[in-house]
Amino acid sequence: MTYVRADVTDAAQVAVAVEQATGCGVPLRVAVNCAAITAFAPILSDQGRHDLALLRKVVEINLIGTFNLMTLAAEAIAKTEALPDNARGVVINTASIGAFDGVGGTAAYTAAKSGVVGLTLPAARDLAAYGIRVVAIAPGLFDTPMFGMGQATDDMRAAAGATVPFPKRIGHAAEFAQFVIDVVERDHLNGEPIRLDGALRLA
């Protein structure tokens, strides 16, 4: 396994990472976009209006960064040898259930993740000619460093898990990874944002 540090908003850095991936001796067929940040800021509060710079930063990383890696990876995947049905690979982008159930104070995050959802179908249609699928996974509450803004306690995890209809817990990163594998292995999954949330709907 090779780790290449890259800023997803920087095309040159991502191009280097993609080049490293294509040079490891096997065809590049899968790209998974997971880079994101979150932010809590109401549009208007006693402290004033939402900071425009914060919105730009969240959109730059969560949406433009996703688009950047998707396009550079797709360009590389398109050069691989076609498999049956002209299949060459898949790009899996990470959205969020917040894209559908945005809560107060998350306008920037919700707008960016809604953009990731909105990318899914047109990107799948654009890349169909190259045998590349595009799918978005919209996770619910998952135990990652982003959960609880990096300050999650066991009590916070338990309280959050109690809001999930079933199973009554937050998700594990390994479950997300397994679902990525499921998407990769099912060629007819394409152009679709899929919720992975235990039936949770944010209030």
Annotated catalytic residue within 98, 106, 109, 119: 109
b/e map 49-77, b = 16+ CB within 10 Å: ebeeeebebbbbbbbebbbbbbebbbebb
Show the tokens assigned to 116. Answer: 């990731």
Partners of 93 in beta bridges: 33, 136
Active site residue 3: no
What is the DSSP code string of 116-172?
A: HHHHHHHHHHHHGGGTEEEEEEEE-SB-STTGGGGT--HHHHHHHHTTSSSSSSPBP
Helix (H, G, I), strand (E, B) or coil at 66: helix
**Pairwise CA distance, residues 156 & 152, whole Å:** 6
Vertex 73, ends 53 and 131: CA angle to 5°?
130
The residues assigned a catalytic role are 109
